[in-house]
Amino acid sequence: MAKGIRAKTITWCAALCALIAPSVVTQLANTKRNADLTADIVESSLTVHLRRAEVVIDLAVDALRKADGHNLSRCDDAALARMRRFVLVTAAIKEFSVLNADGSIACGNLGKTSDVIRFGPHFGGADPQVLFYAVRYADNGQLGIRIASQASETRALGVIVPAEWIVPAGLSVRHAAIHGITVSLSDGPVIVNDTQASELLESDRIEVTRTSGRYPISVTVAGSRSAVVREELSLTLLSHLAAIVIGLLGATLIIIQGRRHRDDLLSEMKAALIDREFVPFYQPILDLDTGKLKGCEVLVRWRKPDGTIVPPGAFIDLAERSGFIFPLTLYLMEQAAADLGPVFRARPGLRCGFNLCAEHFRNDHIVADVTKRFTSSTLPLSQLLLEVTERDPLPDVDLARRIIAAFQGMGVRVALDDVGTGHGGMSYLLKLGVDVMKIDKLFVDAISTERYSTAIIDSLIDLAAHMRMEVVAEGVETFEQVEALRRRGVQAAQGFVFAPALPASSFRLLVESMEAVPSIKQGDVFVV
């Protein structure tokens, strides 16, 4: 009997080994595959970030080259106007200056003074006439690269590319395996240091550095092998069953916690509105034919007491579904009227746009609210543009049409936002009688690259022309998109290629500086 028990024990042990052995072999193979995958992910991220850095510097160097021949080193009014124009239309640069031989500023779009501190040596690229060196802003510590080219025997032209535009917040190519992105001038000063790579063990870390062939910049990306292993690990049937149980328990806890968090967040938002923590930012809208400012779209940011900025995506959905959107919208209108009223009243051709959601069209109270806010305001009703968004379907299209007609009767123009991506589609265009069609960034990104998206844009533009609507393109980020939109007859656009959403003080300066810029003829090198 003992012999039989021993045989059964050996049999069960052998069966267990046979069950485990394939898993062990598979795990070893996955480890090797995941190590190779980590290297591929790091290389891919590196390629994207190096290419982006080169494109941003391309724009800055191109601005310098275009400036050559305009005799900006004279520092007269025309030269200063052109510098401001360069900064406005070149998304890559923050500051344009004429530099003396000792590196001091002779003049620039920000005046003769600057809090920029140079550190580290200068570096040259493929073009020996162009020099690069690292700078730091004294007031906030922001880093950047100054690019300079000789303009005369005693003066040079210089532009500053901020570090945040080389690797923008929220645009980093991220994966669980990526733990660090560093950009430096050759082997010199570090310009971007977005990294947690120091937390990695040396045995787990894979790091790759590549230097541009045209500019003196190096990009380093660090990755974690174990992160990919965790991402790619295949589970056994038992782990699947365990995951289902854990998932059900976790989902229950998440739902309970989510409801609690929702209530807490809403209470925090209400307190923040009382404390005036919600701040309007202004996205400039430009005329594609003349380059002149047509107005702005009001966007909201939540600036907490510690200075952190909460983007609207983190709270707008809750605001709309809880009813908090009503006091928030009215607050933004009051604040925008205070911010922009005087400067807009002096320029009656400008319009200020506000977003309205589906909840605003459940009744006609919004008409009375808007009338009350702007009838005696420094920002006239005739300079308002109300944008109807399609995140949720309109509860009553006929009522919405009557509300829109009431606004139009007061001189307010109405736009349909995110056309082609929301719930209403073409039916809203046909039924609501709006004045402006706003083409969503989704289609702008695909213009000239995806046949069907290009066909949709062409159809929308043609429809707008027949319905006598103005067309505004959103999310325009490249000069190629600008040219493609102009060829199709689009009158106006907004997006990163022109300017990001700006705080009130910066937007007012933009309005005043553009008003002072001389008219630029069609075909001039600065027209976009």
Residue 423: pLDDT band with limits 50, 70, 90: low
Considering only 144-153, 165-174, 239-248, 500-509, which range has the smallest mean pLDDT? 239-248
pLDDT at res. 46: 79
What's the whole-number mean pLDDT along residues 465-493? 90
Angle at which helix 504-516 crosses helix 325-345, to 10 degrees, equals: 30
pLDDT at res. 329: 95
Q: Which of 173-177, 324-328, 417-421, 452-456 has the highest mean pLDDT?
A: 324-328
Considering only 189-198, 435-444, 472-481, which range has the smallest mean pLDDT? 189-198
pLDDT at res. 70: 80
Q: What is the overall mean pLDDT for the chain?
A: 80
pLDDT at res. 67: 83
Could you tell me which of 515, 383, 384, 494 has the C-alpha nearest to residue 91?
494
pLDDT at res. 123: 82
d(CA 283, CA 351): 12
Percent of all residues in the chain with a pLDDT value above 70, rounded to a whole number:
77
Four-CA torsion 12, 14, 19, 20, nearest 10 degrees:
110
> Given a cut of 50, is residue 522 above it in pLDDT?
no
What's the whole-number mean pLDDT along residues 164-178? 63
d(CA 455, CA 228): 40
Element at 51 (helix H, strand E): helix 2-67
> Given a cut of 70, is residue 467 above it in pLDDT?
yes
User: What would the two tokens of residue 153 be?
Assistant: 């025997």
pLDDT at res. 169: 56
Residue 34: pLDDT band with limits 50, 70, 90: low
